[in-house]
Amino acid sequence: MDTESINGSEQYEKILSQTASLDDILIQIAQSLGIENHQFTKQEIEEARGNLSPMNDRVAMVTFSDNKNNHIITGLVNSLRKIHNAPQISPITQTWLQELSLPDVLGRGMIADMISEGWMINVATEIQKGSQASFAVRGTLSTSNIMRRQFKVGDDYSEAPDTIGVYILGFNLPELDHRKEFVSRIVRAEYDSGKHFLADKFSDYYIEMTKVDNWKKSDLPEEYHELYEICLILKAKIKDQERVIKMNAVQSPLALDLANETRKAVAPDEFINDTMRREKGLNELQNFMNRQKLESAEKMLITAIQNGVPASAIEAMRQSVGITDTRFAVLKKQARAE
């Protein structure tokens, strides 16, 4: 590794050790790269604005922060409840957008905890390039956040309102591969009998956005139409929203409101500038973390070679992290020299 890379690694390690707040990390990385005050061209801004969507965590945060547009989230939850013949919730009155921390940055998007009379709601959006095998655990922890916000150890949990989790996913859940539907309600069950357990107290809904493409509105029962139209807007880039609305004859007031409110959220040029600066910082952070992972893997390979680990195991280790033949040859020479 060259001197510049070493210095960069030390700098990022110092940044990461000082704070767990993603916002603070990205700001400090942007400063270290000299882009904190960089102004992008009008063309860059317009292209970036058009390519954003409501599923982007920063767009979602601006759209729904400070209790704005809670009626859209209320409607989203009720469109899910209607499909599953569950009671409708009261209007959401209070929204908390959780601050993303470093452990969340590569796995989680916008998280919001919300209060409706008699209900606690947690809504999460996630975009992944591939599948997310560990989501079942993380999703369960996310749903528990809203309960922890309201109650402490020793409180009277009999007063706890019903809890709803909504997960809007840009990937398919392996556990739901057998389901063609793009929305699933999951209830807890007893381990031995499989009998539903606390089904009225807890409801988790999973919307697999990739499965929306398998349907046309005309193929769905009428109770699905509103949710389907909301999903179309959630998926659409800002520049494509009008076309999507017209092509699919979108009529849901909530879906049309969502499109309008997200366009308003991304209207300020400074918001786009700030988003692009953070994106550069995030890419740099991801590259740094990938470098750290590769360096650790290379050290493990060297140790394995030196300790006579079977060649088949070493080969499996090498391929799992994508170390090339050329680089592997260098590592073997290094192992023999040490």
Q: 31-36 contacts: CB < 8 A, separation 24 or more? A: 33/280, 33/281, 33/284, 35/277, 35/280, 35/281, 36/277
- Do 76 and 169 belong together in one domain? yes
The HSE-up count of residue 25 (CA atoms within 13 Å, CB side) is 26
- Do 87 and 136 belong together in one domain? yes
- Do 140 and 207 belong together in one domain? yes
**16-35 pLDDT tens trace:** 555 556 666 767 777 776 66
Least confident of 55-64, 116-125, 184-193: 184-193
Which of 241, 265, 289 is at the close of a domain?
Answer: 265
Least confident of 11-25, 82-96, 204-218, 304-318: 11-25
- Do 281 and 238 belong together in one domain? no
Predicted local distance difference test score (pLDDT) of residue 102: 44
Phi (first) and psi of residue 302, to 5 degrees: -60, -45
Which of 265, 289, 323 is at the close of a domain?
Answer: 265
- H-helix or E-strand spanning residue 226: helix 225-235
Please count the structural domains in the chain. 2
- Do 138 and 260 belong together in one domain? yes
Predicted local distance difference test score (pLDDT) of residue 74: 93
Give pTM, 2 decimals: 0.76
From CA 217, how far away is CA 205, in angstroms rounded? 20
Q: Please compute the mean of the pLDDT values over residues 245-265 and round it to a whole number.
A: 96
Which of 227, 250, 265 is at the close of a domain?
Answer: 265
In the chain, helix, strand, coil percent, each to 5?
55, 15, 30
- Do 329 and 276 belong together in one domain? yes
| Chain position carrying tokens 């007893």 | 190
- Do 21 and 61 belong together in one domain? no
From CA 204, how far away is CA 227, in angstroms rounded? 16
- Do 176 and 224 belong together in one domain? yes
- Do 124 and 84 belong together in one domain? yes
- Domain containing 127 equals 53-265
**68-110 pLDDT tens trace:** 899 999 999 999 999 988 889 999 988 877 665 444 444 445 6
Is-contact 207 231, C-beta < 8 A? yes
- Do 165 and 288 belong together in one domain? no
- Do 189 and 87 belong together in one domain? yes
Q: Are strands 111-116 and 119-126 parallel, antiparallel or unpaired?
A: antiparallel
Beta bridge partners of 181: none
- Do 323 and 193 belong together in one domain? no
